[in-house]
Amino acid sequence: MSTPLVLRTAADLRAAVAEALAAAGGTGRDGVQPPALGLVPTMGALHHGHRALVEAARAENDVVVASVFVNPLQFDDEDDLRRYPRTLEADVELLGDAGADLVFAPSEAEVYPDGPPLVRVSAGELGARYEGASRPGHFDGVLTVVAKLLHYAQPARPARYRAYFGQKDAQQLALIRRMAADLNFPADIVGVPVVRAADGLAESSRNVFLDPEHRRAATVLSRALFALQHRVSAGAPPDLAAAVALVKTEALVELDYFDIVDPQTLQPLPAGSGPLRKPALALLAARIGSVRLIDNLPLAPAAGEGP
């Protein structure tokens, strides 16, 4: 794969997108429709999960832009923001290898020229639950920067436009989908399945902070999710209590939340309502030592249990 072009300003990005789409031709890869642009927003410190996002974008679009920007607006802790790994050189290499054509890596002054914005996108009530409960304002910060990134990369000429986000951050994905629908963003939001290590642990930039004992203990999270999924797909009612009990067998794991929710609204499903009749999502967060991990797994009703 060739080294992607790195753009530092929104003006340079717009020009590079226009040029790349023009080079893709007037009719796009299928010879009928306008060319397609895929955007993959990231904060860098990239791992296999990010690679899967870029590969998904590469498979479906003529031009792929990845952004690398550590967004101060979504950090509620100054130390966390300071400590966040900045590894642009390695990130650009991974992005190029995975198939990105362009990398947008703006400075903070480029994205927030007047300092923290007075007007932000509000994540509302959906942003105050689960991950939002312990991080007030986090999802407003995420939505605000994603709105800006979608604007920066938006093609000026007729083109299909898609943006890619990991299903691992299920609440973030649900909120970005809502923002795009509620505020009429001209981009399709694509969710890319969670990438897991061989032991089942969901890929996360935080996994490097787990020592071997904590890492082993952390695998109980995916085991509990898969046990739940297995039950549900066999037609049994989702037994959340049994899944929670399994997690609690690991003394090193401190569960924050574990719920079965509607995938779009993240409203918890009423307990004890029999076998699933529509798709749901099992969602959890836990602390293992000093590391907080999240994970989730879709639950599909067994064949014949649908509405």
Q: Which amino acid, one-letter code, is at 130?
A: Y
Using rule CB under 6 A, residue 169 touches ligand PAF: yes
Using rule CB under 6 A, residue 171 touches ligand PAF: no
Q: Total residues contacting ligand PAF (rule CB under 6 A)?
A: 10
Query: Any idea which residue has 């079965």 for tokens?
Result: 260
| 74 or 222: CB nearest ligand PAF | 74
Burial of 70 (0-12, 13-18, 19+ CB in 10 A): middle
Q: Alpha-carbon distance 172 to 292, whole Å? A: 16
Using rule CB under 6 A, residue 142 touches ligand PAF: yes
Q: Which residues are bridge partners to 98 per DSSP?
A: none
If residue 254 lies in a helix (H) or strand (E), which one and from where to where? strand 253-261
Considering the complex, what minimum distance in angstroms separates the CB of residue 232 from ligand PAF?
27
Q: Alpha-carbon distance 58 to 249, whole Å? A: 42
Considering the complex, what minimum distance in angstroms separates the CB of residue 177 from ligand PAF?
12
Question: Which residues are tagged catalytic?
Answer: 50
Considering the complex, what minimum distance in angstroms separates the CB of residue 300 from ligand PAF?
25
- Of 13-21, 93-101, 120-128, 141-149, the window that binds ligand PAF (rule: CB under 6 A) is 141-149
Q: What x/- string results for residues 206 through 245 when contact with ligand PAF is judged by CB under 6 A?
A: ----------------------------------------
Using rule CB under 6 A, residue 123 touches ligand PAF: no
Contacting ligand PAF (CB under 6 A), which of 6, 24, 57, 145? 145
The widest CA-to-CA distance across the chain, in whole angstroms, is 59
Q: What x/- string results for residues 33 through 72 when contact with ligand PAF is judged by CB under 6 A?
A: --------xxx---------------------------x-
Contacting ligand PAF (CB under 6 A), which of 13, 36, 53, 146? 146
| 43 or 123: CB nearest ligand PAF | 43
DSSP state of 164: E
Considering the complex, what minimum distance in angstroms separates the CB of residue 36 from ligand PAF?
20
Using rule CB under 6 A, residue 17 touches ligand PAF: no
| 195 or 228: CB nearest ligand PAF | 195
| 30 or 77: CB nearest ligand PAF | 77
- Of 109-117, 139-147, 212-220, 296-304, the window that binds ligand PAF (rule: CB under 6 A) is 139-147
Using rule CB under 6 A, residue 4 touches ligand PAF: no
Residue 248 CB contacts under 8 Å (≥ 6 apart), including other chains: 255
Using rule CB under 6 A, residue 259 touches ligand PAF: no
What is the CA 150 to chain-centroid distance, rounded?
Answer: 15
Q: Copy the structure tokens of residue 232.
A: 């549900």
Q: Alpha-carbon distance 222 to 219, whole Å? A: 6
Q: Alpha-carbon distance 148 to 103, whole Å? A: 15
Residues of this chain that bind ligand PAF (CB under 6 A)? 41-43, 71, 74, 142, 145-146, 169, 172
